[in-house]
Amino acid sequence: MSGNSFGKLFTVTTFGESHGPAIGCVIDGCPPGLALTEADIQPELDRRKPGTSRHVTQRQEPDAVQILSGVYEGFTTGTPIALLIRNEDQRSKDYGNIVESFRPGHADYTYWHKYGVRDPRGGGRSSARLTAPVVGAAAIAKKWLKEQYGTEFAGCMRQLGDIAVPFQDFAHVSANPFFAATADAALIAQMETYMDELRKAGDSIGARIDVVARNVPVGLGQPIYDKLDADIAYAMMGINAVKGVEIGAGFASVAQRGSEHGDELTPQGFVGNHAGGVLGGISTGQDITVSIAIKPTSSIRTPRRSIDKAGNPVTVETFGRHDPCVGIRATPIAEAMLALVLMDHALMHRAQCGDVRVATPDIAGKH
Amino acid sequence: MSGNSFGKLFTVTTFGESHGPAIGCVIDGCPPGLALTEADIQPELDRRKPGTSRHVTQRQEPDAVQILSGVYEGFTTGTPIALLIRNEDQRSKDYGNIVESFRPGHADYTYWHKYGVRDPRGGGRSSARLTAPVVGAAAIAKKWLKEQYGTEFAGCMRQLGDIAVPFQDFAHVSANPFFAATADAALIAQMETYMDELRKAGDSIGARIDVVARNVPVGLGQPIYDKLDADIAYAMMGINAVKGVEIGAGFASVAQRGSEHGDELTPQGFVGNHAGGVLGGISTGQDITVSIAIKPTSSIRTPRRSIDKAGNPVTVETFGRHDPCVGIRATPIAEAMLALVLMDHALMHRAQCGDVRVATPDIAGKH
Amino acid sequence: MSGNSFGKLFTVTTFGESHGPAIGCVIDGCPPGLALTEADIQPELDRRKPGTSRHVTQRQEPDAVQILSGVYEGFTTGTPIALLIRNEDQRSKDYGNIVESFRPGHADYTYWHKYGVRDPRGGGRSSARLTAPVVGAAAIAKKWLKEQYGTEFAGCMRQLGDIAVPFQDFAHVSANPFFAATADAALIAQMETYMDELRKAGDSIGARIDVVARNVPVGLGQPIYDKLDADIAYAMMGINAVKGVEIGAGFASVAQRGSEHGDELTPQGFVGNHAGGVLGGISTGQDITVSIAIKPTSSIRTPRRSIDKAGNPVTVETFGRHDPCVGIRATPIAEAMLALVLMDHALMHRAQCGDVRVATPDIAGKH
Amino acid sequence: MSGNSFGKLFTVTTFGESHGPAIGCVIDGCPPGLALTEADIQPELDRRKPGTSRHVTQRQEPDAVQILSGVYEGFTTGTPIALLIRNEDQRSKDYGNIVESFRPGHADYTYWHKYGVRDPRGGGRSSARLTAPVVGAAAIAKKWLKEQYGTEFAGCMRQLGDIAVPFQDFAHVSANPFFAATADAALIAQMETYMDELRKAGDSIGARIDVVARNVPVGLGQPIYDKLDADIAYAMMGINAVKGVEIGAGFASVAQRGSEHGDELTPQGFVGNHAGGVLGGISTGQDITVSIAIKPTSSIRTPRRSIDKAGNPVTVETFGRHDPCVGIRATPIAEAMLALVLMDHALMHRAQCGDVRVATPDIAGKH
């Protein structure tokens, strides 16, 4: 209840700090009988891991995952699955200069005031490194959802600072360092130049990411507070640096009329998906579409005004290894959070209404 | 756990349907010793209730609240507070024509597929009428937070369809039917004409609402999943018809540089509030600023294509008494949800870190 | 989370005080599609209600239950079911003399120190009257479990003070005022005399109650902390005045050898049931057998030493209408708690492992 | 929610199997600022670990604990504390003969029917080895409670099969292999002989354990369902092999009169403690006294009738390394569970009622 567990029935409890000996999580509630090895999890961690291009942090972490429990002879047993990831490339001295003062835009200030103590090494618990365990846990959720319902997840960058990134096809996402769903080589080159200049300037930039779930069973979600879209908003806003979340038409809904926004139905399915796959907090069986805004990294080399713990004015420049755009690596993280939400709601639905017999009725999913 | 409770330590469990005998809630976890009568709650319900202008639903409901438990001789006792609100103006026949078919954009379709049964009278459980009990519960939270920390809440409409509504002062909000924070009579008149035309056209429109909390203690929020902003996003996206949530700079963060977005600190306080009062998931002591997008009402008189339960094509026109812009009455609801989130986190913080001794340190809150 | 909700997936949240306007509960998580009216609930409340013999409190309460929500056209809809029971026979003056002092053995002292405020009328929230709403909620659980698995519940008194009450048949329970499973008229007469003398003496007495669940599906329970027997112990010890709980052989296990205690299995089923239907925290499909110890009522006419709020010595005699043996009415309450535990675990099991296909395998249930 | 977490605010989530690579737990909700190293935890693990006398299992496990997170420069930071304990002495072949059949009295049968898969090595998740992580977690709770309120825990064996073990002084507990609170050398010798004979006979025996908490703050506990005694019953019944729980007078209450059972109060404190330190579910400030019944170990060498997975009759003899009386090592485990319950309720109380200012009022604690 102190905020380090995600999910009610497929519950992921994470632990660890950026520069401690290890990070990891315990997954409680995974159904028994799922075939599972580290090889099912590692690819998702590899998509998220640092050091894969010059545009992200140069910290070198293999992020090799070890399953400590909950799997016997290759199948889940229904008992907790513990995942362990060793931290290999800690360089605590990089952070020596920010122990006594607060980086603008960073959690330094609030952790200090909340707890009266904080681990300053690499941001401690507030580091985006702590998204690794949930990406690992979500790999398990993805596998189960895929086997049960055929549910699949995809995501891509749609905006990098001022640069809009048109959507072509998710197939392109793995072919460039930005998770851009485009084959436009000129655009990719423009993005690379943009990032190179930012890095030289010692500054950082925001991004917008879209994620989608396909082949979602109809009926997932609880109607009043644990609405599917409410839980998605919670999951997404909980990702480091996220400042905004949209479902379906999102903020564009403000200027829409009801006759335009409300997706009509025909015997062949829904006509349009302004709803983003959720009506009244419950999945329609259409694609679930989510868009998130990610703020620029707070740790930058540009000198900034701040104060120290005693309240004296100081100038802060943050060296060390930081992502100049945390949005770049956010795509697999956002997919992971969406998968965890759907997994939890799939189990919750099963508790209240029994097994889902039809993943998507004939009239849904066509749009 | 089936989605009808909000909050972990100040837990509000609601019940009721739009056209049942009553709606209400049970509030578990209210600290003892708070002076409380119905007169503390009723004004907030009156701000939200229907029938207060021609621009909202004409259903006539006094929304008179009765405290059934948890208060003895004018003070809370620490035991559950039950609030009861009788439904007085049910007209179930208004809904007869939509029992067998699904209104586009409405929860009819998803409730039917989830539960295999639904109460179609006035939308049943999915009606925005169910926001009344939480507004009542939040009145208690608001009173406690005000007494403990001086925390206050305010909100206003910022956009009505195509019409932007500039912010002047929250003092104006109660002087017009739109919760607009402006004294611009011409703008109000324009909004009234806009709504009159929509109503004649049998259509509806979206809106954008801003809410803010002031004098928030520093240190509220849990760092990884139950981040303060994540819980705010959950609370806001859970309000009927909300499709997007922003904290602080929100989607504008995407195009910002780190040197612009990160709010600097000086001995006199933060310089700017792009963060919206939350860093690393924990309150900074600055104002918490939230913006939400509300979709247009789904129940409109305009004929629309849909299907019936058997999958046959039908045309749906929804008569009855509906808000042509659900965003109009959303301001007190959004304030209520924000208050509930802060209340819950205030208790959570007290559990883990003991009593908050300083609501806002000297260096915070000046911006 | 403040202790007024029972169950994780079939969650019952109660409210009310002994002498407030009403008591009741909200049941969240009831599966949709269950046929339900007040007539399904009232008989269970009638078994528990006061005033049915001279051996229990003479407070006259019809305990008439009203369903406020969650049921449409006679079937549950999957939304919260609110139950309301009006208090009709409050006589607050009865309690005037104990407002300022603490009754020995009663919650007066602890409530006062915990909350700094308490409702002294009839014990306020600590009254056994608050077991009525859970008995109502459990009637719904019983109906669902019966329909799904054929599960049935029964209970009886096994000891009244010094008088042991042999078990003959549950059929006799409703034929005497003590819930004794015996047709021994002489024993019943002895119990009546015993109670009459106690009442004249202004004293009270303890009791032991057994409850059993039959036709329980195999596989209910979580293995480490939410063991089925752990949750049963929690449920039973939470009943007013309970001081001890046994499952199966209970305290007799202490002197047993493993070769005696461990129930052997044959192709025809288990040989014996020392386990009480639970192994490793999970149901075996055998009868679940529970025994509880209930202390004597604390509110007695016999003068007792105590202190007032200021710490001064006082003599306390408690007049008013009290059960001279709270154990007499405890049988339906204990059955109710057992039913709520099994209901919750049935839904939990369904979440993690899917629908239970076989309630009791062939080899179980024979013992 | 799948039963592998204990506590709501001081939440301990365990993982691991008897013969997997490691066991451990994540503790979420520990207040910041507590001085903590492995040296604070290891002594409690050493009290519980196997192989310390010939009367317990001969499995050799150092049970060396490693803190993976949540501590910085010797103090807790308020973030999750992960504890890791490597399994060193697995001998899976010991269990080869019970893979296909069910040991009477053991969780084999129920795990198989619940999950359709189970890890048979050493009982997998159902092994009492899984009590090690909670003993580790409880060492942290004990330290915090001691520093905050002076609360202390002690426990001892009171009965070993037929042998009653009188209580003299907790100081003797560490001086014999049975956790007996006696200096009676003849009695200890008798117990040793008793155990030696049992071991030769290939059989096992039950035990009764008492635990007590002293210097408990008044006011801990929630009044209806999360009563302090209900949570204690839940915690105790959740320990492997426990079949009965008593608080205070326990089952002796059945034959007591109210004038005998109800503990009188004087300005000098309570007169007696039949309540066991809990009234109305809330701590009185007196000692909390608990007694538990532990069944004999199910894994014995004596041949027993059982069935295999196909339902065919088999004879089961369990070799390998087992405790002939699991009750012997249960004392530190029962203390640990009691400490975890009090820790959780201390934080819960702080959430709802603010910091406890007086651990025990003058009138309490004297008995």
The answer to whether the Cα torsion of D178, D182, D184, D187 is positive or negative is negative
Closest of D345, D294, D331, D236 to residue D44, by C-alpha:
D331
Residues of C near A (Cβ–Cβ under 8 Å) read: 1, 9, 29, 31-32, 78-79, 223, 347-348, 350-355
Nearest CA in chain B to A275: B105
Residue ranges, chain D, pLDDT below 70: 1, 91-97, 356-367
Cβ contact (<8 Å) for B3 and C28? yes
Separation of alpha carbons B314 and C35, rounded Å: 31
Range of the domain at C343: 94-353
If residue A14 lies in a helix (H) or strand (E), which one and from where to where?
strand A11-16
String of DSSP letters for C85-101 = EE-----GGGGGGGSSB
The DSSP H or E segment spanning D8 is: none
Structure tokens at D141: 């709770």
Closest Cα of chain A to D9: distance in Å? Answer: 5
State the pLDDT at residue B280.
96
Pairing state between β B163-164 and C304-307:
unpaired
Compute and round to an integer the Cα radius of gyration of chain D: 21
- Nearest residue to A253 (alpha-carbon basis) of B158, B291, B294, B334: B294
Which chain A residues are within 8 Å of C352, Cβ to Cβ? 9, 29, 31-32, 78, 347
- How far is the C-alpha of B195 from the C-alpha of B323, rounded, in Å? 10
Phi, psi of A148 (to 5 degrees): -75, -45
DSSP string covering A145-165, please? HHHHH--EEEEEEEEETTEE-
Q: How far is B344 from chain D (nearest CA, A)?
A: 9
Rounded CA separation C18/C122 (Å): 6
Helix axes C38-48, C131-149, angle to 10 degrees: 130
Which residues have a Cβ under 8 Å from the Cβ of B4 and sit 6 or more positions away? A222, A223, A224, A225, B13, B14, B15, C26, C28, C79, C80
Contacts A69 to D, Cβ<8 Å: 15-17, 20-23
Query: What residues are paired with C159 via a beta bridge?
Result: C164, C208
Is A280 annotated to bind a ligand? Reply is yes
Write down the residue that tokens 């009606």 correspond to: B127
Q: Are C155 and C174 in contact (CB under 8 A)?
A: no
Q: Which residues pair with C65 in a beta bridge?
A: C85
Is pLDDT of C194 > 70?
A: yes
**Alpha-carbon span B301 to D191, nearest angstrom:** 85
Structure tokens, B55: 């621009």
Is C24 within the bounds of a domain?
no
Burial of C116 (0-12, 13-18, 19+ CB in 10 A): middle
* C43-98 pLDDT per residue, tens: 999 998 887 888 888 888 889 999 999 999 999 999 999 999 999 877 656 565 67
* pLDDT surpasses 50 at B110: yes
Q: Which pLDDT does position D55 carry in this prediction?
A: 86
d(CA B56, CA B44): 17
Residue C315 tokens read as 């003599």
Six-digit token string for A336:
């992971």
Looking at residue C307, which CATH number applies to its domain?
3.60.150.10
Residues in B whose CB is inside 8 Å of some CB of C read 1-5, 8-9, 11, 13-17, 20-24, 26, 28-29, 32-33, 66, 68-70, 72, 75-82, 114-119, 124-125
Q: Please give the Cα distance from C64 to C87 (Å, whole number).
A: 9
Q: Which residues of A touch C (CB under 8 A)?
A: 1, 9, 29, 31-32, 78-79, 223, 347-348, 350-355
- The tens digit of pLDDT for each residue in C297-348 reads 998 989 999 999 889 999 998 877 778 899 999 999 999 999 999 999 999 9
Cα-atom radius of gyration of chain C, to the nearest Å? 21
The first and second tokens of residue B244, run together, are 């997007």
For residue C330, with 0-12 CB atoms within 10 Å meaning exposed, 13-18 middle and 19 or more buried, which class applies?
A: buried
Report if residue A359 sits inside a domain: no
How does pLDDT run across B224-261, given as a tens digit for each residue?
Answer: 999 999 999 999 999 999 999 999 999 999 999 999 99
C139, two tokens:
């009637």
Domain count, chain C: 1
- Tokens of residue A352, six digits: 């209240």
Q: Which sign, positive or negative, has the C-alpha torsion B352, B353, B357, B362?
A: negative
User: In which band, very low, low, confident or very high, does the pLDDT at C366 lie, cut at 50, 70 and 90?
Assistant: very low
Does residue A39 fall inside a structural domain?
yes
Measure the CA–CA gap between D151 and B271, rounded to whole angstroms.
Answer: 46
E strand or H helix that includes residue D347:
helix D330-353
Q: Which residue, among B13, B25, B92, B226, would best test binding to C if mutated, counting the most C CBs under 10 Å from its CB?
A: B13
Q: What average pLDDT does this structure show over C17-31?
A: 95
Tokens of A45: 């961690």
Selection from C140, C143, C172 nearest residue C156 by Cα: C172
Q: Do A225 and B4 touch (CB under 8 A)?
A: yes
Q: Kindly state the helix (H) or strand (E) to which residue A13 belongs, with its residue range.
A: strand A11-16
pLDDT tens readout for residues A4-25: 999 999 999 999 999 899 999 9
Q: Determine, for residues D206 and C353 on separate chains, whether the beta-carbon distance falls below 8 Å.
A: no
Indicate the SS3 state at residue C196: helix
Residue B323 pLDDT: 83
Q: Which two tokens stand for residue C33?
A: 């599609």
Q: Is C246 within a domain?
A: yes
The answer to whether residues C210 and C290 touch, using CB atoms and an 8 Å cutoff, is yes
Question: Would the CB atoms of D352 and B353 count as touching at under 8 Å?
Answer: no
Q: Phi/psi at A291 (nearest 5 deg)?
A: -130, 140
Supply the pLDDT for residue C363: 46
Please report whether residue D367 resides in a domain: no
Closest partner CB to A351 (pick from C1, C9, C223): C9
* Cβ burial, residue B46 (10 Å; 0-12/13-18/19+): middle
Which uninterrupted H or E stretch holds D362? none
Owner of token pair 């195999």: C218
The shortest CB-CB distance from C243 to any of D105, D236, D249 is to: D249
Q: How far apart are CA A97 and CA A299, in angstroms?
A: 12
Neighbours of chain C (3+ CB pairs under 8 A): A, B, D
The band of C364, judged by pLDDT with boundaries at 50, 70 and 90, is very low
Looking at the DSSP bridge assignments, the partners of residue B282 are B279
pLDDT of res. C256: 97
The most confident of the ranges A42-56, B119-133, D60-74 is D60-74
Nearest CA in chain A to D16: A69
Q: Are B50 and B57 in contact (CB under 8 A)?
A: yes
**Residue D76 is encoded by which pair of tokens?**
């807790």
- At residue A128, φ and ψ (nearest 5 deg) are -65, -15
Q: Where are the alpha helices (DSSP H) in chain A?
A: 38-48, 108-115, 131-149, 185-201, 228-237, 258-261, 330-353
Distance separating alpha carbons of residues A276 and C33, to the nearest angstrom:
29
What was the pLDDT predicted at D46? 93
- Local confidence band at A95 (pLDDT 50, 70, 90 cut-offs): low
Question: How many Å apart are CA B46 and CA D158, to the nearest integer?
Answer: 64
The rounded distance, in Å, linking the Cα atoms of A77 and A83 is 15
Helix axes C330-353, C38-48, angle to 10 degrees: 140
Single pTM value for the model: 0.96
Is position A292 within any domain? Answer: yes
Q: Which residue has the tokens 């870190």?
A: B353
pLDDT confidence of residue D30: 97
Q: What is the bridge-based pairing of β-strands C282-283 and A278-279? A: unpaired
DSSP A182-244: ---HHHHHHHHHHHHHHHHHT--B-EEEEEEEESPPTT-S-SSSS-HHHHHHHHHHTSTTEEE
Q: Do C205 and D257 touch (CB under 8 A)?
A: yes
Sheet containing strand B207-214, strands side by side = A163-164, A152-160, A207-214, A288-294, A242-247, B242-247, B288-294, B207-214, B152-160, B163-164
pLDDT band of B364, cuts 50, 70, 90: very low
C18 occurs within a structural domain: no
Phi, psi values for residue D75, rounded to 5° = -130, 145
- Which residues, including other chains, have CB under 8 Å from residue C185's CB and lie 6 or more apart? none
**Residues on chain B bordering chain D, Cβ-to-Cβ distance under 8 angstroms:** 1, 9, 29, 31-32, 78-79, 223, 347-348, 350-355
Identify the closest residue of chain B to C24 by CA–CA distance: B82
What is the predicted pLDDT for the residue at A152?
98
The residue written with tokens 């009328």 in the block is C121
Q: Is residue D299 part of a domain?
A: yes
Q: Which residue has the tokens 């849909």?
A: B306
* Cβ neighbours for B218, distance < 8 A, ≥ 6 positions apart: A110, A113, A114, B282, B283, B284, B285, B358, B359, B360, B361, B364
What is the C-alpha to C-alpha distance for residues C96 and B128, in angstroms, rounded to an integer?
A: 45
pLDDT score at A314: 94
As a whole number, mean pLDDT of residues A123-150 equals 95
Distance CA D340, CA D259 (A): 33
Q: Are B222 and A4 an interchain contact pair (Cβ–Cβ within 8 Å)?
A: yes
